[in-house]
Amino acid sequence: MAVTSSLGIGSGLDLSSLLDGLRSSEQQRLVPLQRQASSYNTKLSAYGTLQSSLANFQTAAESLGKASLYEGVKTTTDSDAFKAVASEKADPGSYSIEVEQLARSQSLVSAGQASVDDKIGSGGTITLSLGDASGNVSETVDIDLAGADSSLSGIRDAINGADIGINASIVNDGSGTPYRLVLSSNTTGTASQISVSVAESNGDGSTPLGDLLNYDSTAGSGAMSQTVAARDAKLSVNGIAIVSQTNRVEEAIEGVTLTLSKTTSEPQSLTATRDTDSVKAALEKFVKAYNSVNTLSDKLTAFDSEKEISGVLLGDSTARTAETRVRGALNTPISGGAFSSLAEIGISLQRDGTMKIDDEKLDKALANNLADVGQLLAGKDESGGLSKVLVSTLDAVAGEQGLLQSASNGMKTRIDNLTESMEREQESIDSTIARYQKQFVQLDSIMASINSTSNYLTQQFASLNKSSD
């Protein structure tokens, strides 16, 4: 930089500006390469955008290939006494449901204690069990209670730590001995009733723990009080009485799970129908995804005659091939069912390339021939429907080893090669400018010497002229 800024001092010529002009002229050698690189990068970005749009379309096509989509059942009811969820195993039908009683879990409460921290007796073994009123036990556990843990809070913690399905808590009733232990079953129904007893070994023969924690649900008696009785849910479906241990009633109606929340005073209606709404929503998503691909493809490959602007991929064979393959897959006839094409169920390609749904025609097909719609799109048994054809085609076009990815990889290689060419060209330009600069320095030096000699001779001639005078 110092040499450049001092150029021309010796010669009096504007060599610095001249060198800048030469540098600017030499840099023009890069312009064609830079334009080509920009074009390659723009095309690479276009490939990526198109590939992403086609991948979204592929996802929408895959969803149409799931057989469960066409086997779904939805439930409708105006009742607030229950909720109903149907699985694909459910059969369409209408049901009358009455809820007579909700299931609830049992609660027992002990006599009051003055403190939650004072020890009660010298410890012992607490036996807890869950079972029905007939003595059938589903679960039991023995809890060894050391003397240091025989306080009300210690008993609570020990029972909760046993993880038998019984929750222990302490409530304060505000009396002189306010602290009372509450045992509640975590499970509703009469098959999960609590029985509790204590085996003690106090030296004086007393049984303070046993006097506090004792209840036999089979007999319905004990030192503890039953504040909430266990109860089963009772309901009827189309007049058939049903008993359930919980408020979640499964398989009372095959494939339908009822969740009860309140009792009813009169029959409530429940209707189960094929879930055509989900199928239509999937088809609408499919059409929307295709139209997004079509809009993008048009933008990338079109020519705007008014603005005289060409799409990035105008005339590109890869984009043209991708479009042709996708359209070909969409028009593939599917045999074996009532429908062989999308157009037959109300989904068709328009002249402008977009896809459109005829709602009336589609709704009719879904209402009357849902199984055949499923066969068209998802296939039957091992045979694939239109979804399989599309997914296979889209994978070949936009997948990791697909047509667009191969074109992108080729474009990346071109960009890398072009980058190397620009680097070499820049090195050549820098070398040329360095040579110019060296020559200018030499020129400046020569011109400085010539100017110095000229000035000397001028002075000598002037002196001679004075002598002659």
For 444-455, write each residue's pLDDT tens digit. Answer: 677 767 777 777
11 and 38 share one domain:
yes
Write down the pLDDT at residue 112: 95
Query: Do 139 and 211 share a domain, yes or no?
Result: yes
Are 300 and 421 members of one domain? Answer: yes
Pair (290, 437) in one structural domain:
yes
pLDDT for the residue 36? 84
- 340 and 395 in a single domain? The answer is yes
Residue span of the structural domain in which 250 resides: 73-103+233-274
Other beta carbons less than 10 A from residue 93's beta carbon: 14
Q: How many domains would you assign to the chain?
A: 3
Question: Could you list the mean pLDDT of each consecutive 10-residue stretch along the chain, which spans 469 residues?
Answer: 50 66 77 82 90 95 92 93 92 95 97 93 90 90 82 94 94 95 96 94 82 93 96 97 97 94 96 94 97 93 78 89 94 91 95 94 94 92 84 94 91 87 82 77 72 74 73
| pTM of structure | 0.69
Last residue of a domain, one of 216, 248, 274: 274
Same-domain pairing of 130 and 214: yes
Q: 113-157: per-residue pLDDT in tens? A: 999 999 888 888 999 999 998 889 989 999 998 766 889 999 999
- Return the pLDDT at 2: 46
State whether 305 and 215 are in the same domain: no
Say if 460 falls within a structural domain.
no
